[in-house]
Amino acid sequence: MIYAAVSSSNAISSAIGRAFSPIQKFSNRISDAVTETIDMLINARDYYDENIRLKEEMAELIAQMSDYTQVMQENDHLREMIDLAESSDGIELSEPCTVIGRTANDVYGSFFIDKGEKDGIEYYDPVVTANGFVGYVTEVEYTYSKVTTVLSNDISLGVYCVRTGETGVTEGSYELALDGNIRMVYIPLECEMRDGDIIITSGYSGLVPRGLVVGRAGDTFIAPNGLSRSGLITPSVDPLALKTVFVITDFDGKGSGYEEE
Amino acid sequence: MKKNERGEGRVKPGVKTAIKWIVLSVFAAAAYVSLTSGSGGAKALILFPLAAGIAVFEREIPSAIFGSAAGLLLDVALGKLPGFTALWLCLCCAAASALFGSLLRRNILNFIWVFAVIGGIYLYIDYYFYYKIWAYEGYELVLKYRLIPSALKTLGWSLPVFAGIYILERLCGIPRKLGLEEQDENIERI
């Protein structure tokens, strides 16, 4: 009996609860909204002050974040500089140079850097990153310089394969540049160079130090004259993706190739 | 009184002209920056329609001066011999200005065909002297993948650029006096 009474009262309260639940929700919302509005009206001054304080704090944090990013970038550049200097003995690097613009519609991806004559940059100074050779400085102004990339048909480099020691010369063309490649020519007919071999500068010309990575070898084929082989090279550096580079202002044997002639 | 109702006569003509040239110079600088920034690929040479558009509304000398300046900026941005584009735009803008001053009506259709002729001849001269004459390996590909896409993009940009110059001219330009034949209402116009 008692159980029946209790259970039936539970059922009744449950039914009432269900019926009133949406109304309770609605009234709660109204109550919250009213409380919030009153709170806003009463504490408006406090919120205003807090808002100003938080804005100031945020500005300070943004400034700190900006400084932090700048320091991080500087740190990365210095690390890159140290890596470069360690990888090639006797080279003197410029400060990190930022790419400030690009030659429009240029297939070879030539670009401008923010260092020029006042920073000790000279014509035909080699330009590099930690990944390898980028190109040469081909125009020097007082505050900026223009860099012609390794993709250009104006640039030929003496190179050799690290694994096999086979030598050759690089050259660029419009067709290859559109695919981001260059060609290695005058490779001996009996070459053992394979796809993926690393190609580095020979330093013979005196324009560029020895041992800078140019790229990776692709397939080789017999040249049209039949006397040597040619092969594709995929440069280790994509000139279109560069943001910071270094200029080699001096190195052992600079100018020795052409000054002797 | 009427002038004031239409919003004219409040600003001195000299101030309006100064504002117009400042806006055009800022636009030219922005066009130059957009040309040299970003990654590779064919880019629209917005300075070209800008110079041609100015030639539609201005007299010969200002058109030639602005054309030379725009051409010089283009030469620097494109890595060409300084003066190559500047000389071309100087001559073409002066000629276009003379044409629009005496023979052609100043509307978008006339602008488009005059601009297409100036741009088309420039495209061929550029291709001939910078690529074809040297016959480097694969030079034809430059025409296909750089010069023509760039020319088409430039042509596409010429419409909004002309619209911008037209609006600026309406806002800041000095109202031009109608020529004798334009004042004659009996002339049937197409």
Element (H, E) at B63: helix B60-78
Number of domains in chain B: 1
Q: What is the SS3 assignment for A114?
A: coil
* A111 and A34 together in one domain: no
* Neighboring chain A residues of B71 at a CB cutoff of 8 Å: none
Residue A21 domain flag: yes
For residue A71, being part of any structural domain is answered with no
Q: What pLDDT, on a 0 to 100 scale, did the predictor assign at position B1?
A: 43
For chain A, what percent of residues have pLDDT higher than 70? Answer: 88
pLDDT at B177: 60
Question: Are residues A194 and A116 both part of a single domain?
Answer: yes
pLDDT (tens digit, 9 = 90+) per residue, B138-160? 889 999 999 999 999 999 999 99
Both tokens assigned to A162: 């690290």
Is residue B183 domain-resident? no
* Mean of per-residue pLDDT scores for chain B: 86
Given this model, what pLDDT does residue B117 score? 93
Same domain, A149 and A230: yes
pLDDT of residue A8 exceeding 70:
no
Residues in chain B with CB shorter than 8 Å from the CB of A178 are 138, 141, 145
Distance from CA of B35 to the nearest CA of A (A): 6
Secondary structure class of B164 (helix, strand, coil):
helix
Q: What is the pLDDT of residue A10?
A: 61
Residue of A105, A151, A154 best to disrupt the B interface, most CBs of B under 10 A: A105
- For the CA atoms of chain A, what is the radius of gyration? 34
Least confident among A49-63, A162-176, A202-216, B166-180? B166-180
- Please report the number of interchain residue pairs, chain A to chain B, with beta-carbon separation below 8 angstroms: 56
For the segment B61-80, what is each residue's pLDDT rounded down to a tens digit? 999 999 999 999 999 999 89
Closest B-chain CA to A138: B79
B113 touches chain A (CB under 8 A): no
Count Cα atoms within 13 angstroms, Cβ side, for A242: 33
Q: Give one word for B125, left, alpha or beta, with left for phi > 0 and alpha for psi -120 to 50.
A: alpha
Scored b (16 or more CB within 10 A) or e, A196-235 reads ebbbbbbbbbbbbbbebbbbebbebeebeeeeebbbbbbb
Give residue A190's pLDDT: 87
Contacts of A112 in chain B (CB under 8 A): 36
**A204: closest CA of chain B, how far (Å):** 26
Whether residue B181 lies inside any domain: the answer is no
Which pLDDT score is estimated for B174?
65
Is A86 part of any domain?
A: no
Indicate the SS3 state at residue B25: helix
**pTM higher than 0.90 for the full model?**
no
Domain boundary residue, one of A47, A65, A83: A65
The H helix count followed by the E strand count for chain A is 4, 13
Question: Which residue among A65, A83, A118 closes a domain?
Answer: A65
Give yes or no for residue A260 having a pLDDT over 80. no
Interchain CB contact of A224 with B (< 8 Å):
no
Q: Is residue B190 part of a domain?
A: no
CATH code of the domain in which B40 resides: 1.10.1760
Residue B1 counted as domain residue: no
Pair (A60, A111) in one structural domain: no
A83, part of any domain = no
Print the domain residue range for B159.
11-171
% of chain A with per-residue pLDDT over 90: 42
Q: Measure CA of the first residue to CA of the last residue in chain A; give whole Å.
A: 121
**How high does pLDDT run on average in chain A?**
85
Assign residue A185 the CATH number of its domain. 2.40.10.350
Give a yes or no: residue B162 inside a domain: yes
pLDDT at residue A257, rounded to an integer: 62
Q: For residue A179, what are the domain limits? A: 92-255
Residue length of chain B: 190
Chain B contact for A98 (CB, 8 A cutoff): no
Question: How many residues make up chain A in this entry?
Answer: 261
| A39 pLDDT above the threshold of 80 | yes
Residues A190 and A151 in one domain: yes
Is B182 among the domain residues?
no
* Residue A53, pLDDT score: 92
Q: Which residue has the higher pLDDT, B1 or B122?
A: B122
Whether pLDDT at A81 is above 50: yes
pLDDT tens digits along A148-205: 999 999 888 899 999 898 999 999 999 999 899 999 999 998 888 889 999 999 888 7
pLDDT in tens, A111-152: 999 999 999 999 999 999 988 999 999 999 999 999 999 999
State whether A60 and A189 are in the same domain: no
Q: What is the mean pLDDT of residues A204-230?
A: 88
Contact B77 A103 (CB under 8 A): yes
Quick check: is B187 in a domain? no
Report the amino acid identity of residue A161: C
Residues of A in contact with B36 (CB under 8 A): 101-104, 112
* Whole-complex ipTM: 0.77
Cα–Cα distance for residue pair A120/A142, rounded to 1 Å: 10
Asked if residues A145 and A124 have their Cβ atoms less than 8 Å apart, the reply is: no
> B144 in a domain, yes or no?
yes
Q: B39–A241: do the CB atoms touch at under 8 Å?
A: yes
**Cβ neighbours of residue A196 under 8 Å, at least 6 residues apart?**
A216, A217
